[in-house]
Amino acid sequence: MLEQQLESIEQEAISTLDNVDDAEALETWRVANLGRSSPLMGVFDQLGQLPKEERPAIGRLANQVKQSLESKHAGKVEFLKLADLRRSLETEQLDVTLPGRNIPIGRLHPITQTLRQIYQIFAEMGFQVYQSRDVETDEYNFQLLNFPPHHPAREMQDSFYIEGEFDDENPVLLRTHTSPGQIHAMREYAEENPHDPPPIRIILPGMCYRHEQVTTRAESQFTQVEGLAVGKDITFSDLKGTLSDFNKRMFGMQVRSRFRASHFPFTEPSAEVDIECFVCGGKGCPVCKRTGWLEILGCGMVHPIVLQNGGYDPKIYTGFAFGMGPERITMLRYRVEDIRYFWANDLRFLEQF
């Protein structure tokens, strides 16, 4: 009797398990078939009422059914877990072909790029970078560079003056060019050995300031790179060689340079240097205004008074100096039409470099 009952309990349980397809239904099944008040547990309860000799056989059988149902239950638990995983893999697919989000990469300002190229070229020729101050006295910015007070050459460089309790004869201003760094550098080098000062080969980069009408060609703030070489037996041909070579390395090996006589108070003789227009190769085009030449920098042999002011005896030492504008060079190279773009901080412009 009980044997048949156990058999049908088992078959019934197995057949209903087939219909179970989620965790909730499985739990209901477990309670119904293996729980305290399940028919199977009822059989265990009845064991005590059986004649002694029948108990072991029925007990063993009941245990087998219990173990069989427990293992079917465990199998179903695993089965449902796998089904769940398969479902989530299908519905929550990660699309690895989706394009990633760009991380914007910063870049160097176009003027910084030009400056670094200039440093590189002069470094290869043995010039070190010398940093000088942005705030200067009239003495350094003008007087020691052989611009006497009221000299008309000052008119080219209208200045921003700093308010304060300064000497009327020597006001404080924002430097209008990098040339005052020449005096600082010479004085610093000369201090090392005043009777036989060491030779100098430096470039002096930095921001300059002029109180000017701001136009497409002139800004109130711009960079310059000054150069200074001082030593014994430095001649104008050293100047020509150095700057012609610089122009070739900067603008292309085929580029020719032209030196035109000019005037600066702190150099004598003075020159302006042009390069053959790299846009039209010298034939004449709108960039070179049909002249075939582009003005690149000013230069000259350091004036004896300036050498003297720097602590170098002009009877023993000579030197050359030059000054160029990285904005102008960058404008020519990339045909930038308005100098104001450089410091206006507009990413639409800056991102093009």
Which residues here bind ligand DAH, judged by CB under 6 A? 177, 179, 226, 264, 267, 298-300, 321-323
Instruction: Please say which residue, 9 or 183, places its beta carbon nearer to ligand DAH.
Output: 183
Q: Which two tokens stand for residue 255?
A: 């580029």
Dihedrals phi, psi of 207, to nearest 5 degrees:
-80, 140
Instruction: Please say which residue, 16 or 262, places its beta carbon nearer to ligand DAH.
Output: 262
Q: Supply the minimum distance, in Å, between the C-beta of residue 227 and ligand DAH.
A: 7
| Residue 278 vs residues 73, 321, 333: alpha-carbon distances, Å | 86, 25, 8
* Sheet of 267-276, strand order: 128-129, 200-209, 221-231, 318-324, 293-302, 267-276, 257-264
Q: Supply the minimum distance, in Å, between the C-beta of residue 167 and ligand DAH.
A: 24
Residue with the CB atom nearest ligand DAH in the bound state: 323
Q: Supply the minimum distance, in Å, between the C-beta of residue 343 and ligand DAH.
A: 18
Indicate the angle between helix axes 2-17 and 39-46, nearest 10 degrees.
160
Strand pairing report for 128-129 and 200-209: parallel
278 contact partners, CB below 8 Å, separation of at least 6: 251, 252, 255, 294, 332
Distance, in Å, from the CA atom of 316 to the CA atom of 232, rounded to the nearest integer, reads: 6
Instruction: Please say which residue, 132 or 267, places its beta carbon nearer to ligand DAH.
Output: 267
Dihedrals phi, psi of 277, to nearest 5 degrees:
-55, 120
Distance, in Å, from the CA atom of 343 to the CA atom of 190, rounded to the nearest integer, reads: 37
Are the C-beta atoms of residues 42 and 8 closer than 8 Å to each other? no
Q: Supply the minimum distance, in Å, between the C-beta of residue 298 and ligand DAH.
A: 3
Q: Supply the minimum distance, in Å, between the C-beta of residue 110 and ligand DAH.
A: 21
Q: Supply the minimum distance, in Å, between the C-beta of residue 331 and ligand DAH.
A: 17
Q: Supply the minimum distance, in Å, between the C-beta of residue 231 and ligand DAH.
A: 16
Instruction: Please say which residue, 38 or 223, places its beta carbon nearer to ligand DAH.
Output: 223
The verdict on whether omega for the bond into residue 304 sits within 30 degrees of 0, i.e. cis, is no
Instruction: Please say which residue, 300 or 310, places its beta carbon nearer to ligand DAH.
Output: 300
| Residue 238 vs residues 118, 120, 183, 203, 242: alpha-carbon distances, Å | 18, 19, 21, 16, 6
Q: Supply the minimum distance, in Å, between the C-beta of residue 176 and ligand DAH.
A: 7
Instruction: Please say which residue, 72 or 240, places its beta carbon nearer to ligand DAH.
Output: 240
Distance, in Å, from the CA atom of 340 to the CA atom of 337, rounded to the nearest integer, reads: 9
Instruction: Please say which residue, 66 or 177, places its beta carbon nearer to ligand DAH.
Output: 177
Instruction: Please say which residue, 29 or 293, places its beta carbon nearer to ligand DAH.
Output: 293
Instruction: Please say which residue, 32 or 153, places its beta carbon nearer to ligand DAH.
Output: 153
Q: Supply the minimum distance, in Å, between the C-beta of residue 179 and ligand DAH.
A: 4
- Sign of dihedral through CA atoms 263, 269, 270, 274? positive
Find the Cα–Cα–Cα–Cα dihedral 184, 189, 193, 195, rounded to 10°. Answer: -60
Distance, in Å, from the CA atom of 56 to the CA atom of 70, rounded to the nearest integer, reads: 21
